[in-house]
Amino acid sequence: MEVLKKRKKNNNALNLETVEIVHNILEDIKNQGDKSLKFYEDKFNKESRKQFRLSDKEIEELIDSLDVDTKKIIELNVKRIKAFAEAQLTTINPLEGYFGEGIRMGHKIIPIDSIGAYVPGGRYPLLSSGPMVVAPAKVAGVSNIIACSPANYNGSIHPAVVYGLKLSGATEIYGIGGAQAVAAMAYGTESITKVDMIAGPGNKFVAEAKKQVFGEVGIDMIAGPSEIVVITDDTSNPELCAADLLAQSEHDPNSRAILISSEKKIAEAISLEIEKQIKKFPSDSPVYQSWGDMGEIIITENDEESIKLSNEIAGEHVQVHCKNLKKYEQELKNYGSLFLGANSSVVFSDKVSGTNHTLPTNKAGKYTGGLWVGSYLKTQTFQEINEPGLKKLAEHSTQQSDIEGLHGHKMSAYKRLEN
């Protein structure tokens, strides 16, 4: 293995300052509600609102300001995201059966009652982010969907983001952002109802806030900054590979783009192509810092070593620009989402293909997948024990409780035998 370009920064380093800032925000809003929420909105956002919630009239006016073509793009996004979520839902089934005579057991599939959807509002209005979080929740059957996004567009949320949220099924929309939005949804305030789960990507403060409120509410995952692993061989197109790496690098200064290649000449050609393409980005784009600080180019001996390395990195997006796609599909197992072939751009998933783009980062792909309709469903078991299953289970439980020294458990089981 040979490293042609090494990253200069480590995203995994614990930022104690961020942890403390977020902790203070959460505690203040937990104890003082809207008063502290207003304070932090005034502090962090240039255009704070008198009312956090967008009224029906405001939503209508924002949507009316959109042109027809933009609306069609958003409508197609929502349609495809919902269609994929609906197809996924058909694979999740309740269970009921007899596991021994008199022993009826199973599980039910029950949607979460209420969720909070966080939608980033950074440099660009991300038209798909709201539908990616909200549409699967709606398909799952969640009845109350609160959406929060920074009010950084003329004192409100960008109209395209609002339309996507409304079309996807958000029941309430609030113009607040950052850790303070997570706190408001997790603990509730005078104007915002507490939710049961928070989902959606965000910056380091949002990610840290989700981490700290976990337990008070459920969360989908700690997602971000963006990652891409591009795997190449001697058949890869350098121009397309470079474009794919840079596309993800422009998300954030800390985005991580990694090239893994079993062919050094191709890797060198991709590196030159990156130098050429990066000059076409706006001068203030995060792509320069991201690729400069976080970009990596690694040369491997063969396909097997490329697969092993990719599985160890467990990247958020893994795109395979190689001839032997079946081998990679079968042997790659750690990733957020897999993109097979030169035409399967990550950008399609980011925007409109229908698979969710809220995905695990920082090696979390080793133990979880991305946000999906199942994220909003609870698989909850039930049982009904009758004769003759009762005698069998009671005898077993009595004996086991006696061995364990649990008197109450033994009595609870034994009294069934007595009766």
Q: Which residues are catalytic?
A: 316-317
Coil/strand/helix, residue 30: helix
Q: What are phi and psi of 81, to 5 degrees?
A: -65, -40
The tokens for 61 are 């006016």
Helix (H) or strand (E) holding 272: helix 264-278
What is the spatial distance between Cα 262 and Cα 53, in angstroms, rounded to a whole number? 53
Report in angstroms the alpha-carbon separations of 312 from 14, 229, 306, 334, 362: 21, 11, 10, 7, 11
Strands 296-299 and 2-5: antiparallel
Q: Which residues of 169-206 are buried (b: 16+ CB within 10 A; e: fewer)?
A: bbebbbbbbbbbbbbbbbbebeebeebbbbbbbbbbbb
Q: Which residues have CB under 8 Å from 401's CB, separation 6+?
A: 407, 409, 410, 413
First to last CA, the chain: 71
